[in-house]
Structure 1
């Protein structure tokens, strides 16, 4: 393959022996060589086959507008994901991530903050992608001498979730995530509390909600006999029971099914423990 146009130090436009046009990525690939140079295989890190003029135009525009440092940072992060987790990624991640990083830095320098409320969900359901996001944030901050907020690691994790050829973030995971978030919201507003996300009982509650949502969506109710203790807890924890009634209404409105009494029982117990822990810390 020979170079037909140098886009930046890391990207070149090239043609193969049958005159098919493509974009080639490689560290220093555009700095070392001139137009017409026959590239060696080991110099090429990534090949983007150009299926249409729109894709070609977009890549060329991106290369012209964005400093090559962002391409190199994106490449480092992607290499980490592939090496550590053996991820099979679609080609668009290279350009999408580069563009995202450049725009995130621009937002940060302009004091524009975009909140991301999915830290908990991503951390719990997509630990590999979350780890990549944490690594990416460190690389970006160290390379550019910045302090991008932690929320940015979630945005980057999202790119890797969506770019995987065997995307693990299934519809069921999305439903589980929504159930957890909505139940946390119901408890929060019912008792007007602020969670201590580092507390023991909060983490236990999250673990329980995840298991509950999985059981509920898989239609696998517990067969435990809890009638006697259920009545005791409902009597002794009347405030918690009122909150669970709201959760039951939410579940019914969403899925046209009521909560089994076993699930009501465990929710009351977990909510009671969270309230007790918060009371102790006042």
Structure 2
């Protein structure tokens, strides 16, 4: 495997046979030049990308340490998830992270309005995002806001093998946010993320929120739905408010059977010690 192009001290585009690869490792390009063989002991990570030119352009305009940090975050994420992320993550996360660091240094903070929903929908990705924020602070002395953990989480989620695209991911988080805001207004208080009943509601909505058009809703019979509506009238009223928000803001219709099931979750939130 020989060097075709040096990207920075820690990354090169290499050629092996008729295939191009991006090869990463500490000091892998130090003192080397085009057509030199790559020292095997220096190789830390190898991946094949269809976007080598874009990556080369990006690495030519950002500080080298930003790419190194991005690779550490990707490695952490892949270890946490137990899977390989789409190759595109090396480009998009590096670009996002570098821009976020530059913005923070300049005193510009971008608020992520979906942070609470992203934290709930994608807890593993958000945890890696928080770790990434700590890593940047530790290695560069730059205190990224916690909002960046949510932005990083979104990029990681969309680059999973079964992840949706970024637009769909943001839409799902927005639907969840609007429905939960309607619930907060209805019950007249905030809900604790540590409340097991609240966690169960979120977990339930998480399964449904991206697939309302094809989700297999709970098949409660009409008699049971009627009983739930009567017995838990206030909780059912809140479920209706959530459904109205979904319909008005996102054009989503939630079936009556599903509302009855959501009602049971809401009743547990309203009355934590009550058996439902």
TM-score tier by shorter-chain length is: 0.7 to 0.9
* Aligned: 1:246 with 2:219: no
2:10 alignment partner in structure 1: 10
Shift of 1:3: 2.3
CA–CA separation in structure 2 for the residues paired with 1:50 and 1:271: 48
1:195 alignment partner in structure 2: 190
CA contact (8 A) 2:243 2:253 kept: no
1:108 corresponds, among 90, 95, 104, to 104
In structure 2, relative to structure 1, the CA distance for the partners of 1:172 and 1:257 (3 Å cut) is farther
CA–CA separation in structure 1 for the residues paired with 2:13 and 2:228: 71
Secondary structure class of the residue paired with 2:89? helix
**Which sections of structure 2, spanning at least 5 residues, go unmatched?**
none
* Aligned: 1:160 with 2:160: no
In structure 2, relative to structure 1, the CA distance for the partners of 1:218 and 1:179 (3 Å cut) is farther
1:71 alignment partner in structure 2: 67
* Aligned: 1:81 with 2:77: yes
1:30 alignment partner in structure 2: 29
**Which sections of structure 1, spanning at least 5 residues, go unmatched?**
275-282
Structure number with higher helix proportion: 1
Shift of 1:257: 3.0
Q: Point out the structure with max Rg over C-alpha.
A: 1
TM-score (norm 2): 0.75
Shift of 1:102: 0.8
TM-score (norm 1): 0.74
* Aligned: 1:145 with 2:144: no
1:255 corresponds, among 253, 256, 275, to 253
| Pairwise CA RMSD | 3.7
CA–CA separation in structure 1 for the residues paired with 2:266 and 2:75: 46
2:218 alignment partner in structure 1: 220
**For each residue in 1:131-181, what CA deviation from the matched residue of structure 2 results, as whole angstroms up to 9, or x when unmatched?**
221221111111111221111111111221122223389999888755542
Aligned residues: 263
Shift of 1:195: 1.7
CA contact (8 A) 1:248 1:259 kept: no
In structure 2, relative to structure 1, the CA distance for the partners of 1:127 and 1:228 (3 Å cut) is closer
